[in-house]
Amino acid sequence: MTAAAPAPMRSGSVPAHPPEAADLERLATFDHVVVSWVEDAGYPMSVATRFDADASARSVTLTQTNPQVPTDRELSVVGSHIHPTPGGYDERRYVELWGRATAAGGGLRFSPTRAWGWDETVTPFFEYSERSVPQSRRYLAALSEEKGRPIKPRLSLFWLALRTTRLPFLSATAVPVLLGIAIAASHGAFTWWTALLTLIGGSLAHLAINVTNDIFDTLSGADEANTTPTQFSGGSRVAIYELLTIRQLAALALALFAGAGAIGLLLVLVTQSTTLLWIGLAGVVVGVVYTAPPFKLVYRGLGEIAVALGFGPIMLLGAYVVQTGRIAAEPLLVSITIGIFVALILFVNEIPDRPGDAAAGKRTLPVRLSPSVVQAGYLVAAAVALALIAGGVATGLLPWPTLLALLALPVAFRVYQGIKVHYDSPYTLMAVMGMNVNLTLLVGGLLLVAYVATIVWLAMRP
């Protein structure tokens, strides 16, 4: 009763289908089946029994049971498996066939006409769940109508805020802003409260852009088409899950933009810096054209450049200008390195999204480029970003402690290797995406340590 390597199970969103040999081969892997029918009294009845599946004949021989399996009505024949583990279970899979049985010798010959099933080793539970989101919406809409009041999914305010704004990604703002402040401090300029305001304003702008991006990706269908989202990719999905409406998201984005804009204007007034005003305006433009039509840079493969500009020169140089009132080559060079690493977060996070992005016309770089070019491109970009630091030290533009950043090179290489191995597997790629986010934090952290050391050394110098 065993079959060698049945074909992959159809996934959760595919309707029941005429049985194929693979469905029978898959059924043959179970120890027993449960046969169900509807009794004359109107109740379903189920009985477990032994069986033998014949894939080539598309039939199943069932051992007769007591009560007897009827031959005058439709039957359901189910093979189901679960593997208990300490505290839970795994290896869930089942196959369900529908059809009728005829008497055959001492048993029954069951001829299926429809089949259905799920195997979590083929369609991971998270993907199966995502494919089932439309069913949840349908059910809740019908329930709301039935009860005469809206019944919507909920999350606590804390988790909803975290999910909606994708708060953990704020590290991508903290790194360039803190570096800009640290470089300014190493140049003798530091005001704590404008530094704090810069960090808050930059964070609000980042969160506003996250929410805006979600609005457009929801409206374009890119997020809905993505059935393998992860904690790093596929958007917040709060609108798809109906946790919030698009209108609520738009209001939130506007509030966040307004907060960021107010802080930006305050800083311009305080510093009297027209340079800061231009940098701020550039930030607003880049943030909006990233996903908003008609520009939609991220849909045209230009998202990485927009992100590199936004989280590199605009954030880092902006933070530097707030403290010093001027632009300088040193923070500009560091901002390019940081901008590249933050852009590489987007670049890697787009890899698992590419089927959904392609379906929605979002032609990101991983959609446009071959896997080998994407993988090589990652390594080259990371190497160039670190080489800029080495070059800066060699030319005397950067203090020598910034060479510490080169310690991140092996991590960049491990991310590159991870991308190669897990390129087509969204869920196993998650660990690599996490490592890639940590790489940016590592580079930023090492550069911060370098600048703090430089500040201390300069302060202690006679």
Partner 1 sequence: MGWLPDPVERLLEEGLVAEVTVIGRNGRPITHPLIPLYDGHRIYLHSSTLFSKKLEHLKRDPRIAISLSDPVAMKGNTDRATIQGTAHLIEEDPHSDWERLILELWRKKEPSIDDFLKVRVALPLFFERAVIQVRPERCLYWPQGLTDRRPVEALPPSLEAA
Which one, 397 or 430, has the nearer CB to partner 1?
430
Q: Does 144 bind partner 1 (CB under 8 A)?
A: no
Which member of 129, 395, 417, 425 binds partner 1 (CB under 8 A)? 129
Long-range contacts for 259-263 (Cβ within 8 Å, ≥24 apart)?
A: 259/201, 259/204, 259/208, 260/201, 260/202, 260/204, 260/205, 260/208, 263/197, 263/198, 263/200, 263/201, 263/204
| Tokens standing for residue 94 | 């089942």
In contact, 45 and 137? CB cutoff 8 Å:
no
Q: Does 81 bind partner 1 (CB under 8 A)?
A: yes
Q: Does 103 bind partner 1 (CB under 8 A)?
A: no
| Tokens standing for residue 35 | 């046969």
User: Which candidate, 342, 316, 311, places its Cα nearest to that of 331?
Assistant: 316
Least distance (Å) between residue 67 CB and partner 1: 8
According to DSSP H, which parts of 350-425 are helical?
A: 354-359, 365-368, 371-394, 409-422
Which member of 1, 14, 57, 82 binds partner 1 (CB under 8 A)? 82
Helix (H) or strand (E) holding 395: none
Q: Does 147 bind partner 1 (CB under 8 A)?
A: yes
Helix (H) or strand (E) holding 119: strand 107-119
Which member of 72, 105, 154, 192 binds partner 1 (CB under 8 A)? 154
Which member of 1, 103, 142, 281 binds partner 1 (CB under 8 A)? 142
Which one, 37 or 347, has the nearer CB to partner 1?
37
Which one, 48 or 196, has the nearer CB to partner 1?
48
In contact, 119 and 7? CB cutoff 8 Å:
no
Angle at 293 between CA 291 and CA 297, to 5 degrees: 45
Least distance (Å) between residue 144 CB and partner 1: 11
In contact, 313 and 339? CB cutoff 8 Å:
yes
Region from 26-34, 169-177, 378-386, 395-403 binding partner 1, contact rule CB under 8 A: 26-34
399 prior amide bond cis, ω within 30:
no
Instruction: For 133, list phi and psi in degrees, rounded to 5.
Output: -60, -40
In contact, 379 and 412? CB cutoff 8 Å:
yes
Q: Does 65 bind partner 1 (CB under 8 A)?
A: yes
Least distance (Å) between residue 312 CB and partner 1: 30
Contacts (CB under 8 A) with partner 1, residues 373-392: none
Which one, 14 or 143, has the nearer CB to partner 1?
143
Binding track over 225-264 against partner 1, x by CB under 8 A: ------x---------x-x---------------------
Least distance (Å) between residue 126 CB and partner 1: 7
Q: Does 358 bind partner 1 (CB under 8 A)?
A: no
The dihedral through the CA atoms of 449, 454, 456, 457 has a sign that is: positive
Binding residues for partner 1, rule: CB under 8 A, are 31-32, 34, 36-38, 42-49, 63-67, 74-76, 78, 80-84, 87-89, 92, 94, 96, 98, 126, 129, 132-133, 135-136, 139-140, 142-143, 147, 151, 153-155, 159, 162-163, 231, 241, 243
